[in-house]
Structure formats: C-alpha cells, structure tokens
Structure 1
Amino acid sequence: MTDRDYGVPLTAPDRAFRDEVQRFLASALTSDIGPSAGTEADRLDRMRRWQRRLHQAGLAAISWPEEYGGRSATPVQQLIFTAEMAAARAPEPINRSAINQLGPTIIQWGTPEQRAHYLPRILSGEDVWCQGFSEPDAGSDLASLTTRAVIDGDELVITGQKIWTSKAHYANRIYLLARTDPGAAPREGISYLLADLSTPGIEVRPIRQISGDAEFSEVFFDGARVPINNVLGPLHEGWRVAKSTLGYERVGQSRTHRIERRLDILVRMAGEPNALSDRGFQDSYVADHLVRFAAQVEALRQIAAQATAAGVRGVSPGPEASMAKLLTSELDQAMANFGLDLAGMPGALERGSPSAIKGGNVAKSYLVMRAATFGAGTSEIQRNVIAERLLGLPRDP
C-alpha cells in the first residue's frame, strides 16, 4: 500500500483504514467511472454508479455515526479519505451536497422517522437533493426571504420562488426555507421544509451560465402542498436549523477533495512546458505560487477536519465554517486564475476547440470560479462573521 504523507502521525486503525480505502479505489475506480467527453446524462450516470460503489463499501458518508450508515471516522481518517480520493482523481458522488450538508442536519434535527426514511435514501442515491434557500431578493441576506408556507390542516401550501438552485435540473427532492409566520421578526417564523420536486405546483427552470452550462435553476412554487410532517426541526424555527446546514456547507470535506484535485492538476501543468516558464519548478515565480497554494490547502484540510469532528459530536460548525468558506472561495478563484496563466492563450479556448488546453477545462474552470466568492455566502459576509464572532469587533451596521 502507498505510504502517503498526510501531515499527521497515523495509528494502527488509521493505517488499516488507509489500506482499506486504497484497496477499494484500486478495485472500484474502473475506466467506466473516470472522466470522459460524454454528455451530461453520461456524467450523471457515472456519478450515480460511483456513489453506489461507495455506499456498498460503507464509504459514502464516513463522518456520519455508524448507527446512520456512516463510519464515525476520526478527523485523521477523514483527512486520509479526502487525500486518497484526490490522489486517485476519484469523481464526486451524485449526492455530495446531501451527504455533507443535509444528512448531518437531519441527524442533528430530524425525528426518528425522518432519519429512518431519508438517511438511507441519501446514501444510496435513491433521492438526489438540491437546496432551495436563495431568492431573487434574499441571497446573502437570507433572512429577508419571502417564500411562504401556509398551514392548511396537516399540509403546508408553498408559494414563492427560489433561485441559483444547484442540481435542481436533475434532483428529485429539495430542502427549502419558507416563512410560516409572516408576523414574526425576520429571523423568526421561518420553517425548514423537505419536498418532492414532482409535487404539483413546483416548476424548475434551468439558468444558462457564463460557462455555457446550466448547473443552476430557478424553482417556482405555486400552491405546492407538502405534509406538515416534512418540517425538519421545530415549526417556525427553521433559521436555527438552516444555520447548521450552512455551517456544514461552508466547511465540508468535499470542498478539500475538489480543491486538492485542482492543486494536483496545477502541479502537473507546472511541471510541463507552459506559458509562464519552461523551467518547471525551478522557476521561482511558479514554485512560489504552488507552495502558497499547498500551504492554504493544508490549512483548509485541518479546518475542515476539526469542524467535521464537531459535527460528528452533534455540534454545529461555528465561525470556523466562515473561515473555511472564505479560504476555499479565494483559493478556488486564485488557482483557476493561475491555471489560465500556465495555459496561456490556448487556455482561453472553450471545450470543442481543437487547440484547447486540458480539453477546454481551463477556460471553464476560470469562468465557473467567478461565482466562487459569492456562492454559499459572499466573501464579505464571511469576513463580517469572522470579525464579529472570532475577533469580537462591533457588528456591521
């Protein structure tokens, strides 16, 4: 087995877990799972098959408690898992966000019935979830949301609109926030709801992005009815529940998985002839950037491991979630910019262009990462949270 340096000492159980993950990757990461130039449907099919293989091996959600299908993995084991997945260039499971965000929220806030129903379906990929938080006039200021859910007997009738909803074009379920007590203060009277996207009165409209893809959608609710039992956490107290989800979203281990893969790509690009230098790592400008990126990736890994360990204990991520989100966003964008610098003019060519570098993925990454500093909470919001909750500075008026 490969004896990789994870930056921390390994115990015997850690080494056994590392060996298990490496054996799994050697057997399960077959050529039909790797990247290809297929259609969006092909990509989604590969992600579904990969999640099924992870689930069958008990590796789909290693940070979850064992009683819910996880492994109760230690922070070190989570670092091992992330590093091995990145080194093997493994794809993401189709339910990545539900595994890392919704699942822990259901574990923390759900009823026994909700946990028994939803958690296994998240792990198997039978249910694919998207998040319905942001609205046209409620993004970073999420408490100003206006989507309403009116109680009608044992149902809630939802009316409103969500926007920038990732995965809605192929998900079958959505978790959303709606105002159930319109007379309450902005952060009160909100409930956290779980809904089936096939419910009459729900419509999904994809949004075309600057990259040419449509990863985000608008979701419209026109009198959609969901059972009141689909409220997650206390009725009218969804703001507290949502804070847990946002914490998990901003600090998830999956972010380090993706960003480590990006660093690996940059290292390989820098070692080849490129637009900046033909001296590879002997060029001080190139080497300086890579060393800085590597240090930031390691810092992110440590923050994510600590926060995930807290989540396993049932503690919601605190202001460290904002630190991780800010670092990830800034680093994602900086690394995409540097990739374009290494590629030079051919790097600006999109997919399908004969001379495009890395199949056009350099250009796509650069365009997609324009949104990194405002998705899941803007960098300005994260800096305010860090200033107020970690440094004790006065609240932003």
Structure 2
Amino acid sequence: MAARAVDGPERDYGVVLDEQTRAFAAEVRAFLASALDADMRARTGGEAGRVERGREWQRRLNAAGLAAISWPTEYGGRSATAVQQLVFNTEIAAARAPEPVNRNAINQLGPTIIQWGSPDQRERYLPRILSGEDVWCQGFSEPDAGSDLASLRTRGVIDGDTMVITGQKIWTSKAQYANWIYLLVRTDPDAPKTRGISYVLADMASPGIEVRPIRQITGRAEFNEVFLTDVRVPLTQVVGPLHGGWRVARSTLSYERVGQSRTHRIERRLRSLVSLAARSGTPQAPLGDAAIEDRLVRFAAQVEALRQIAADATAAGIRGVSPGPEASIAKLLTSEVDQSMATFALELAGPAGTLERGSPGAADDGDVALAYLLMRAATLGAGTSEIQRNIIGEKLLGLPRDV
C-alpha cells in the first residue's frame, strides 16, 4: 500500500523530537493518510461490522510494522522509545482511527508472553496476535471474584500432560468472536489463594466452552459469560510456572491499567469535546464561556499527563519490566477523567445529548449518549477506583494495608 505525503505543519507533541522520531512521525502520518480510507471510517454493520473493520485495520497496521511498536523488534515490534509511543498515540487519536481487533492482546497478553512465555509460546502466539489471525479475550473475572480476583474458583486439575478446567468467567469482552482466551485457573486448592493459581491459554473451540452474551445499558452485548466444563488444555499452554500464575497475572493487569488504547480513546474524546463546545447549535456555542474554557483546559492538562504516564510505562515494557503500582495512577486518572468528559459532553449537548443513534437530532449521531452510558462502568473495569486507591496508598505511599 503506497503512502503519500501529509501536507501541513508538523504536529506539536509537547516534547522535542530528534531526527529519528521526526522521521517516524512523518511515517505514521503518511500511513494514516493512505490506509485510513472511507471503509475504515465507516460505522455501518453494527458489532459485526466493527469487528471486521478492526481485523482489517490491524492487518494494515501489521503490514506497515505499526501493530505493536512498543514490542521488541525480534517479536515484530519496533522497540519504540517512550516519545515514539507518545507520537504514535497522538497521531492515531488525531486521525480517529479504529481500534485493532486484538487491542487487548497487543497491549496486555503480548507483553506478558514476551516477559513470561517460553520460546515456543512466543514463536507460536505472538505473530498471530499481531496479524489478527487469532483473536483473544481475557478470562479473569468471575461472579465472586472481580475486584478480589485472587478469590477465583475456576479449577484446573492436572491429568497427565493436560489440565482439565471447570468453572465460570464473567464480563469477558470479545468472547463471542474470539478464538483464544487467556485464563486464570486455581490449580492448587490447598495453597494460599495467590499461590495456587496458573495462567493458561485455551482454544475457544475446545469442547466444553460455552459463551453467553450479557446485554448492557447501551443495548449492546459487548460482555459475556464464559462457562467451562471439563475443558482439556495441554500443559504446554501454561504461561510461566505452574501454580505461579498470580505473578504473571499481575504483569497483565499492570499493562491493562496503563492501557495504551485507553490513552487513544481519551484523546479522541477530548477532541470530540472541544469540537462539540465550539460547534454552532449547542447551547453554549460558540466556545467563549470562561467556565467552559476552563473545564476544557483542565481536561487537556490531565490528558497530557496521562499520555506521558502511558509512554513511560510502555518504555518499561520494552525493557521487559511490567509497569509497577504507578499503573494504578494511570488507571484511576484515565477512568475518572474519561467519565468526567463524557458527563461534560452530555451537559454541553443539552437534550440532544440524550438521544440514541438513529434518532433525529441526536448529538454527534448519538455518540454523546452512547459514551455517557458506556463510561458508567469506566471506574469499575480493570479494577475499581477504590482498589486502585488502595494500591496507590499501600505500594506508593506506604500506608497500612486496607482490611
């Protein structure tokens, strides 16, 4: 796919770019100008259409070597610097590019396999994560093990060279179209609860796996329940030590909490918010009210801080070190800022902001209402804000453990 030059001045990224990074920024902008066509910008086809666009977009990113720039070069990445990651995030957000279908696998599972996986696991799974040939979902949360994840009850019984898994997972994104799942399974019931867990990769086509969609407040069914009944998985698909999966899972959760994809989304929401405030037809437009400007400037400062945190955490991942408790700062701030911006958009839009997609006169074609409803869960997913504050207090501030 031939790339064409992008006209216009170089973007201000808030940092000084060296020659290599300027060249990288130009490459990304040229790629977006060429690859982000009308098909990729379309919003037709519902959930199935969105998934297929995500597959195709990931294929295009991978062909250009841009699917996972933070990964080490030997695994298909670019060993990108923190500034290069910041540049990439900024350009993707500015272009309003779709999310790759394997967003979570690229940002969470891939770095975990790089850090903890065997050579065979890296060779087998990483290329197919990048290409989108395998689509992954995460099987961590359970009905009685959400914020207290170590209380999980899904069990894995060793039978020769296989593990037999039985249990239930919930709030599993993408399970309805994923063909692989990464699971936490209790394999030593007699050990302390964080020491008897294994981290397992399973084929969703395995006999005994059933997926049931969960309808959300938006009317969509992005989450699912996953039931596992005597599912057999080879022990070669255990990542890290058997019974030692809690440490592996903590790496994944740290990557999830930083979430490069979260910074993409929050930057897109900020741009949409500024556009909404400035657009004629909204109650407060054109943008000129000092209070509105103050809110927007505060959001912009918070988003910039989050971009820097995410870029620094990605740089740590390049060195093979999972983000530490600082990731909880990123997760806490991102979810609460994201939720606040969605609420502010509803205030700006007025009554039109309450109208759903397909309704005449709906603000931003219904995106304002959709974002507001979706963001009700922002402070719950990937660990509640209360959990993140406990981690920050205990691990960073040295406060007594919450009991």
Above 0.5 in TM-score?
yes
Partner of 1:396: 402
* Structure 1 residue 355 displacement after superposition: 2.1
CA distance in 1 between partners of 2:53 and 2:309 (Å):
30
State whether structure 2 residue 391 is matched by structure 1 residue 385: yes
Count of aligned residue pairs for this structure pair: 396
SS where residue 145 of structure 2 aligns?
Answer: coil
| TM superposition score normalised by structure 1 | 0.98
| Residues 252 and 308, structure 1, Cα contact 8 Å, conserved in 2 | no
* Structure 1 residue 278 displacement after superposition: 2.8
Specify which of 339, 345, 368 is matched with residue 339 of structure 1.
Answer: 345
Specify which of 181, 185, 202 is matched with residue 178 of structure 1.
Answer: 185
SS where residue 100 of structure 1 aligns?
Answer: helix
| Residues 274 and 342, structure 1, Cα contact 8 Å, conserved in 2 | no
Specify which of 8, 20, 27 is matched with residue 34 of structure 2.
Answer: 27
CA distance in 1 between partners of 2:297 and 2:14 (Å):
15
Q: Partner amino acid for 1:341?
A: E
Partner of 1:283: 289
State whether structure 2 residue 82 is matched by structure 1 residue 75: yes
Pairing of 1:48-87 with structure 2 (within 5 A): 48-87=55-94
| TM superposition score normalised by structure 2 | 0.97
Partner of 1:363: 369
Partner of 1:14: 21
Partner of 1:46: 53
SS where residue 169 of structure 1 aligns?
Answer: coil
Specify which of 258, 262, 272 is matched with residue 255 of structure 1.
Answer: 262
Q: Partner amino acid for 1:98?
A: A
| Larger mean Cα displacement after TM superposition, 62-71 or 284-293 | 284-293
Q: Deviations over 1:225-262 (max 9, x none)?
A: 01011100000000000000000000022111111001
| Residues 86 and 258, structure 1, Cα contact 8 Å, conserved in 2 | yes
SS where residue 176 of structure 1 aligns?
Answer: strand
* Structure 1 residue 279 displacement after superposition: 3.7
Partner of 1:350: 356
State whether structure 2 residue 234 is matched by structure 1 residue 227: yes
Q: Partner amino acid for 1:27?
A: S
State whether structure 2 residue 329 is matched by structure 1 residue 323: yes
Pairing of 1:42-191 with structure 2 (within 5 A): 42-191=49-198
CA distance in 2 between partners of 1:40 and 1:376 (Å):
22
Q: Deviations over 1:308-347 (max 9, x none)?
A: 1011101111011000000011011001101101111111
Q: Deviations over 1:160-193 (max 9, x none)?
A: 0000001111111100100000000011110000
Q: Partner amino acid for 2:332?
A: L
Q: Partner amino acid for 1:71?
A: R
Q: Partner amino acid for 1:103?
A: G
Note the aligned Cα RMSD (angstroms).
0.9
CA distance in 1 between partners of 2:88 and 2:150 (Å):
36
SS where residue 164 of structure 1 aligns?
Answer: coil
Q: Deviations over 1:51-83 (max 9, x none)?
A: 000000000000000000000000000000000
State whether structure 2 residue 319 is matched by structure 1 residue 313: yes
Specify which of 198, 207, 217 is matched with residue 214 of structure 2.
Answer: 207
Q: Deviations over 1:268-326 (max 9, x none)?
A: 0011135441341x211110111011000001011111111011101111011000000
* Structure 1 residue 5 displacement after superposition: 0.7
SS where residue 239 of structure 2 aligns?
Answer: coil
Q: Partner amino acid for 1:77?
A: Q
Partner of 2:203: 196
- Aligned-pair identity in percent equals 71
* Structure 1 residue 357 displacement after superposition: 1.3
| Residues 251 and 322, structure 1, Cα contact 8 Å, conserved in 2 | yes
Specify which of 213, 225, 237 is matched with residue 218 of structure 1.
Answer: 225
Partner of 2:245: 238
Q: Deviations over 1:181-212 (max 9, x none)?
A: 00000111100000011100000000000010
Q: Partner amino acid for 1:65?
A: P
| Residues 274 and 344, structure 1, Cα contact 8 Å, conserved in 2 | no
